[in-house]
C-alpha cells in the first residue's frame, strides 16, 4: 500500500507540474501574430537606440547634417546657437550617408563658418563622414587670431594628419579609396592625448602637446587657412564629399564613437 501511495503521489505531482508549465507558457508566450511580435521587438530596439542617441547630444556645439540639398547655407542643428555655415566657390550638394552631403571640387570650393564663440577649449571631438580619392587636402580647419592651425585635420600625402599647438601628428591612417568612411579625431589637454577613429574603431593613439584652443575663430571645410578666414592655397584644396560634421566640447568615449558610426541618424 505504501508503494502504491508513493506512485500515486508522484503521478499527481507530475500532473501539477505539467499544468504549471502550461500556465507559464500561456502567460509569457506572445499572443499576437508573428508580425505583431516582430513590430514589438523593433519598437523596443528603437526605444533603446533613442536612449543611447540622447548621450550623443551632450556637449555637441556644432552639427551640420547637410540635408538642405539646396541653397548656399548649411544650418547648424546643435542647440540654440546659430553657427550656420556658407558654401562658397562652387561647393555643391551630393548624396550622403543619410540624405545629402556637401561636395568639394578640389579647385577652390569650401564651406566657412566665420566667428564661432563656443568652440571647445580644453577638449574636443570632431566627427564626420568622408568619401574621397584625393591624396592631399583639408577636411576640417579651425583657425584663430592666435594660430592658423588651432585644430586642423588634413589628408597629407596620404595619411590623415592632425595639427594643433604649433605642430602636427601623422596618424598613418588613410581613407582615400572612394568609399564612405567615418572619421573621429579627439584631443584633450589632460595628458595631451590625441586619437583617431576610423569606422568606429580606434586606429591611432598618441600625444599632441598644445595650449587650450582659442575661440572666436573661423571654421572651414575643404580648404586650409593660412590666414584667419582666408589665405587659401590650391595645394590644400579638398576633392570629395563630407557629411554629418560634428564638433563636441568633450572627448567622446569609444562606446559612443562606435554608436555614432553604427547609427548615423543619431541624434
pLDDT digits over 222-232, tens only? 999 999 999 99
Buried b (16+ CB within 10 A) or exposed e, 90-118: ebebbebbebbbbbbbbeebbbbbeebee
Single pTM value for the model: 0.81
Instruction: Provide mean pLDDT across the span 69-98.
Output: 92
CATH topology assigned to domain 60-262: Jelly Rolls (2.60.120)
Residue 80 has pLDDT above 70, yes or no: no
Residue 14's pLDDT is 55
pLDDT digits over 114-149, tens only? 988 789 999 999 999 999 999 999 999 999 999 999
The domain limits of the chain are 2-51, 60-262
Residue 47's pLDDT is 44
Q: Where on the phi/psi map is residue 28: left (φ > 0), alpha (ψ -120 to 50), or beta?
A: alpha
Residue 34 has pLDDT above 60, yes or no: no
Q: How far apart are CA 114 and CA 211, in angstroms?
A: 22
Q: How far apart are CA 190 and CA 127, in angstroms?
A: 20
Residue 163 has pLDDT above 70, yes or no: yes
- pLDDT band, very low/low/confident/very high, at 28 (cuts 50, 70, 90): very low
Amino acid at each position: 500500500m505504501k508503494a502504491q501511495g508513493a506512485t500515486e503521489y508522484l503521478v499527481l505531482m507530475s500532473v501539477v507540474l505539467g499544468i504549471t508549465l502550461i500556465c507559464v507558457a500561456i502567460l509569457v508566450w506572445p499572443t499576437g501574430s508573428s508580425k505583431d511580435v516582430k513590430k514589438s521587438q523593433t519598437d523596443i530596439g528603437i526605444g533603446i537606440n533613442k536612449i543611447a542617441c540622447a548621450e550623443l547630444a551632450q556637449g555637441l556645439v556644432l552639427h551640420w547634417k547637410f540635408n538642405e540639398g539646396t541653397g548656399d547655407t548649411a544650418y547648424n542643428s546643435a542647440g540654440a546657437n546659430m553657427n550656420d555655415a556658407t558654401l562658397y566657390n562652387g561647393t555643391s550638394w551630393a548624396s550622403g550617408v543619410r540624405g545629402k552631403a556637401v561636395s568639394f571640387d578640389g579647385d577652390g570650393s569650401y564651406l566657412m563658418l566665420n566667428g564661432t564663440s563656443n568652440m571647445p577649449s580644453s577638449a574636443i571631438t570632431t566627427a564626420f563622414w568622408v568619401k574621397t580619392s584625393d591624396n592631399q587636402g583639408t577636411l576640417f580647419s579651425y583657425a584663430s587670431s592666435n594660430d592658423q592651425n588651432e585644430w586642423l585635420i588634413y589628408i597629407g600625402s596620404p595619411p590623415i594628419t592632425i595639427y594643433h599647438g604649433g605642430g602636427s601628428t601623422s596618424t598613418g591612417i588613410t581613407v582615400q579609396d572612394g568609399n564612405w568612411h567615418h572619421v573621429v579625431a579627439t584631443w584633450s589637454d589632460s595628458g595631451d592625448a590625441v586619437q583617431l577613429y576610423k569606422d568606429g574603431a580606434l586606429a591611432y593613439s598618441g600625444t599632441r602637446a598644445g595650449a587650450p584652443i582659442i575661440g572666436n575663430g573661423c571654421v572651414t571645410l575643404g580648404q586650409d587657412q593660412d590666414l584667419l578666414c582666408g589665405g587659401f592655397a590650391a595645394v590644400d584644396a579638398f576633392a570629395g564629399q563630407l557629411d554629418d560634421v560634428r564638433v563636441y566640447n568633450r572627448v567622446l568615449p569609444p562606446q559612443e564613437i562606435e554608436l555614432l558610426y553604427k547609427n548615423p541618424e543619431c541624434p
